[in-house]
Amino acid sequence: MYRILPAIVLLILSLLTLTQASANLTSSADQAETGIQVKLLVKLSPKIRISQAQPQDQSRSITSSYRHDFSFLPALLLTKLELDRASRVLGARSGRRLLSDNEALIIQGSHSQGLWGIYRPLDTYVRDEQTVVVLKRVAIAELQSREKHFSTLQVRQQQQEILRDDVVLPLDSQTRDAHSFAYSLHPIIENRLTTILGAIDGRDYVVKNQIVVLNRGQQEGVVQGSWFDLYQAPVLSELSDHLATDEKRVIEKQPSLSIGRLRVIDAEQYFSLALVTESRQPIGFDTVVQSSSSADSTHSLTAPIAIASGGEMR
C-alpha cells in the first residue's frame, strides 16, 4: 500500500503538468488566431477636393495687364530734347565703371518717384529734321533716398551691366507726360505702307518677340496698339527672259505672301517701335509692312506679355 502511494502522487503531478501545458498551448493558439483576425487590410485611395473658382475682378486684371504691357517696355523712343532733359546715372560710391545690382546708384536730381527704368541709348534716326533716339532698358530700380542735388536708387531687376551716363526715366506712367504709354486701339489709315528701319539689337533679321523701328509715327496716325501685317513681295528680278509678256504679267500680279504681324508699342511723331507678334519666317528690312485692315486687329488688353532679357518680349 505504502509502495503504491508515491507512484499515485507522481502520476497526479504528471497529469497536472500536462494539463497546465495544454492550457498554455490553447491560450497561445487563441491569441495567435485572434491576432490574425484583427489585422484588417485597409485600402487607401486619394481624395479629390473640388473648390469653386473665385470670380476675378476684371477691371483689376485689365489695369495690371495694361501697366505690365507698356509701363515696363524693354525699349522706347525719345526725342533729342527729351533725351537732353532726362536724368543720368552718375555712378556708385565704390567708383567702379560697371555697376551691378549689389550697389546703390546715384543719379542726377532730387526725385520723389518710386520706380525707375535705366536705359542705354542705341541708334539715332532722323526724318524731316526730326531726331529720335532708341533706348534699351538695362535695369529697373527703386528710390532709396534723395538729397538736394542727387538721388540714390537700389537696383531690383537687371538685364545688362549699368554704365555711367545711362539714362534714367520714371516708370510711373502718370509722371511721364511725353510717354504716358496709354494703350490705344485707334486704327490708322488702311493699307498704309511703312518701312522697317532697324532692330534694337542690331540684327539684320528679326523673328517673333523682337522689336523693330518703323519710319511712321503719330503724324501718319500710328499710335500704341496699331497693327501691321507683314508680307514677302513676289521675287521678280529672276524672271526668265523667255517668258511671254502675258506670262510675266500673271506672275507680277501674284499676291504677296503673308509672313507675320507687328504691334506698335511706342510711337513718336515720325517714328514708332513695334513688336513682332507673329513670324512664319525671318523678317528682313525689305519686308512689305502694311497697316492692318482686319477686324481682329483689336486684341484683348488682358493678353499677358512676358518681358525677356536682351530687349525682347515673349
Report H helices in the chain.
4-38, 58-70, 80-85, 245-252
- The residue with cell 486687329 is 297
3-state secondary structure of 209: coil
22-59 confidence digits (pLDDT tens): 555 555 555 544 444 544 554 545 444 444 444 433 32
Q: What sign does the CA torsion over 86, 92, 98, 101 have?
A: negative
Q: Are 32 and 273 in contact (CB under 8 A)?
A: no
Name the amino acid, one letter, at 298.
T
Q: For the chain, give every domain's residue range.
A: 74-175, 193-313
pTM metric for this prediction: 0.61
| Average pLDDT over every residue of 80-95 | 86
| Average pLDDT over every residue of 113-137 | 91
253-304 confidence digits (pLDDT tens): 666 788 999 999 999 989 999 999 999 999 999 899 998 865 444 443 333 3
Q: What is the largest CA-CA distance in the chain?
A: 151
DSSP assignments along 235-277, one per residue:
--TT--TTS-HHHHHHHHTSPPEEEEEEEEEEE-SS-EEEEEE
